[in-house]
Structure 1
Amino acid sequence: MAVTRAEVARAAGVSPALVSYVLNDGPRPVSADARARVLRAIETLGYRPNRVARALRQSRTNSIAMLMPDHQNPHFAELAQAVEDEAFAADYVLMIGTTANDPERERSYLRSFLDRQVDGLLLISVGGRPDLDLITGASIPVVLLDRAPAGSDGFSTVVIDNARAAELAVQHLLGHGRRSLVCLSGPPHIEAVRQREQGWRRALSAAGCAASPPRNVTFSRDGGYRAVQELLAEGVPVDGIFTTSDAQGIGALRALAEAGRRVPEDVAVVSFDGTEAGRYAQPVLTSVAQDVGTLARTAIATLRAQIEAGQTAPVHEVLVPALRIGASCGCHAGS
C-alpha cells in the first residue's frame, strides 16, 4: 500500500502542510532541521509523491512531445536521443511520435498529444505546410525544430543555416577541383530542402559553374543508392556528389562501389548532417555537421522559456554550420 504524506508528516513530527513545503520548495520557508527530518522520513518510508495530483494542482503534466518524420533516418534518431537527454535533465517526460512522412499521421499524432495535455511540443514537420491552425487553437508552447515551414513566423524555430551549410559543402568539392557535380536533394516541398538547393546553386554560380537541376529523392539510403545507379546508367559525367543527407550519402557510396567507381579518386562525396553513421561509412563521409546536441539544448531551452516563464514572443535560432572532414572528399583526414 502506498505511503501517504500524512504518514511522512507523523514520522518526521511535522504537519502535512510542511511536508508539502519541502516537496514543492515553498511557498513558505522550512527550517534546516525540519527539512532534514522530512527528507529522512521520505527516504525511510519510501514515499513517492503523486505526480498526477501535483500536475492537476499546477495545471502542468511535466511532459513534452516530439514529432518527427522518420526514426530510420540517422539524423532524426540522433536528434531524438539528444532531445530526450535534455528533457530528462530538465525533469520532463518526453513522448515521441514518428509520422513515417505521412501528413495525416502527423495530424493524428498532434491531436493525440494535445488530448494528453502535454506542456509543450517540438515539431519536425513532414511537409511544407503542417496543420499550424490545430496547434494555434490548442494554445500550448511549440518549437519548430530542424525545419521552419513557410508561414511559421509566429512560432519559435530552431534550425541550422541550410543554405550556408550546402554552400560550404559545394565549395569544398570545388576546392578539390571537381567540376562535374551532381546534387542529390530531398523532397522538394520541404523548405529546408529548397534552402539547401539554394546554397548549391549559389556556390556553383560564384565559381562560374553551371548548376544542373538537383535530383529530388527521399532522405534515405535507398534514395541515394538508386539515384546514383540511375545517373551512372544515364552516362551522366560526375566527379563530385553533394547529398543533402548522410543517409543519401551512405547509399551513394554503395552504388559507386558496386559500379567500380573509387571514392574519392573517381568521385568525391560530401553530405549533410554529420551523423555517427557517416563516421562508419567506407570511406568516412565528409559532411556538413548539424550539431544535434546544440539543436536539442537550444530547442528545450526555448520551449522551457515558454512553458515556465510564459515567454510568448517567438524566438528564431539559426545555428552556424561546420564542415566535418572525412575521407570521401579527398582530404584523407578521416575523423
Structure 2
Amino acid sequence: MNDAPKTALAPTLSDVAKLAGVSRAIASRALSAQPRPVSADKRERVLRAAETLGFRPNPLARGLASKTVNLVAILVNHIHDLSDLDLFDLLLAQIQAIGKQVIFIRIGAGEHAETFLRDGLAYHVDAALVFSDFADAGTVRRMFRNNAVLMLNGHHDAGAPSVTMDEDQGIREAVADAAAKGVRSALLLTGRTMSRVEQARIASYRTALARHGITQLGELAGDYSYASGRALAPSIDVDATDAVFCTSDAMAMGVLDAHRRHFPEHRPARFRLYGFDNVSLTQFDAYPISSIGADKRDYVAQIVRILEQPARLARVSEQVLVATRFVPRLTG
C-alpha cells in the first residue's frame, strides 16, 4: 500500500476563470501586465480569484502565446570596471521597470569568443544588447535566431540600431581645460587598445593634444582597472609630465593613490590628473578626480526607448549619439 501524500496540483488559469465566473480569455487579459481591455468589475473578480487560489501566472507559457518572453540578453566582455557597476545597476533597474528581465552573457576574448559565438545559445530572448566588442550584429542575430539586436559597443552594423557615447566632445573639453592651465606635456594611460571604442578614444586624445600644442610624451597600456593604473604609476616622470590622462577613472584612482604625495589636499603639485567615465566614486572626498562622462540616465533612457519598440529594433539602423562632458574636480 502506498501511503505517500498526494501532491496538490497548482491552480491553473482555467481554475481562476471558473471561480471568477469569466472566460479563460478574460482572465488572461485581466492578469496581463499589458494594458488590455477588460472591465474593472471583471478584473477585480479575476484578481480576487487568483489571490484566493494562490495562482501565479507562468511567464513562459504567456511568452509562448505572445511570442515574447520578456527576457533581454546583455552581452559583455566582463564586468569589473567601476563604470560597469554604475551603468549596469541603472540599466537593470530601467529594463525591469518596463516588465522585462535580464540575462548577462560574458563572452571573453580571442578564440574562445569566436567558439562561443559560433556554437550559439539555447536562449529565447526578446532582444540582445551588445556591449562586447567581440560580437557583431549578424553573429548575435544567428546566436539568438532573432533580429532584435542593439549595438552598444561602438560598432555601426547594417540593419542594427546603435547608441554610442560621443566621447570626442568631452575629451576636447578636458584637454582644453588642461591647456588653459598651462599644461604643455602629457602622458596617456589607456585601456585595452584592441577595442574599437578605445581606439577612437585614443585618436580623440591625440587630436585634441596636438590642436593645443601639448606634447604627448607617450602612451602606456593597461586594462581600465585600478590595479593597472597603480602598476603604471611608477612609469610617470613627474618632473617632465604636466598632465596624465587616463581612459578610465579606476586607472586614475590607482595613479592618485600611488602619487598621493604629489597631490596635497588632492590638488596637483607636480602634474594634473584626468580620468574618464565620471563614476560615482569621483564625487566623494577620497577621489575628486577631474573626469569625462555622459549622463548615464540619458544613455540608459535611449537604450530603453529603442528596446520598447521591438519592430523598429529589428528593422531600423538608427544611430543615436549621447554627448559626454568634462567634469572639473580637484586633481585637474
Q: TM-score range by the shorter chain?
A: 0.7 to 0.9
Corresponding residue for residue 4 of structure 2: none
1:26 and 1:60 map into 2 onto residues whose CA distance is 12
1:91 and 1:111 map into 2 onto residues whose CA distance is 30
Corresponding residue for residue 143 of structure 1: 150
Give yes or no for contact 2:229–2:255 (8 Å, CA) kept in 1.
yes
Give yes or no for contact 1:165–1:199 (8 Å, CA) kept in 2.
no
SS at match of 1:143: strand
1:203 and 1:277 map into 2 onto residues whose CA distance is 26
Corresponding residue for residue 48 of structure 2: 40
1:244 aligns with 2:251: no
The structure-2 alpha-carbon separation of the partners of 1:302 and 1:26, relative to structure 1 and needing over 3 Å to count, comes to closer
1:30 aligns with 2:38: yes
Q: 2:20 aligns with which of 5, 12, 17?
A: 12
1:71-129 alpha-carbon deviations (Å, 9 max, x no partner):
21011122111111111001111011234x424454566568742111111111245xx
The structure-2 alpha-carbon separation of the partners of 1:140 and 1:109, relative to structure 1 and needing over 3 Å to count, comes to farther
Corresponding residue for residue 5 of structure 2: none
Corresponding residue for residue 132 of structure 2: 125
Q: 1:225 aligns with which of 230, 235, 251?
A: 230
Q: 1:70 aligns with which of 78, 81, 92?
A: 78
Corresponding residue for residue 178 of structure 1: 183
Where does structure 1 lack aligned partners over 5 or more consecutive residues? 330-335
Root-mean-square deviation over aligned CA pairs = 2.6
Corresponding residue for residue 96 of structure 2: 88
SS at match of 2:259: helix
1:301 and 1:267 map into 2 onto residues whose CA distance is 42
TM-score normalised by structure 2 residue count: 0.86
Corresponding residue for residue 314 of structure 1: 317
Corresponding residue for residue 302 of structure 2: 298
1:41 and 1:75 map into 2 onto residues whose CA distance is 46
1:115 aligns with 2:118: no
State the 1:34 CA deviation: 2.0
State the 1:160 CA deviation: 0.8
Corresponding residue for residue 157 of structure 2: 152
Give yes or no for contact 1:142–1:303 (8 Å, CA) kept in 2.
no
State the 1:316 CA deviation: 0.9
Q: Give the counterpart letter for 2:168 in structure 1.
A: A
1:245 and 1:239 map into 2 onto residues whose CA distance is 19
TM-score normalised by structure 1 residue count: 0.86
SS at match of 2:276: strand
1:109 and 1:290 map into 2 onto residues whose CA distance is 31
Give yes or no for contact 2:20–2:45 (8 Å, CA) kept in 1.
yes
Bigger drift between 103-112 and 3-12 goes to 103-112
Identity in percent: 26
Give yes or no for contact 1:204–1:210 (8 Å, CA) kept in 2.
yes
1:201 aligns with 2:214: no
Where does structure 2 lack aligned partners over 5 or more consecutive residues? 1-8
1:138-187 alpha-carbon deviations (Å, 9 max, x no partner):
33311122x213x6344221111122222222112222222221111222
SS at match of 2:52: helix
1:170 and 1:190 map into 2 onto residues whose CA distance is 22
The structure-2 alpha-carbon separation of the partners of 1:132 and 1:281, relative to structure 1 and needing over 3 Å to count, comes to farther
Give yes or no for contact 2:293–2:325 (8 Å, CA) kept in 1.
yes
Q: Give the counterpart letter for 2:326 in structure 1.
A: L
Corresponding residue for residue 6 of structure 2: none
1:226-276 alpha-carbon deviations (Å, 9 max, x no partner):
2221233xx77112111111111111112222xx32241222111110001
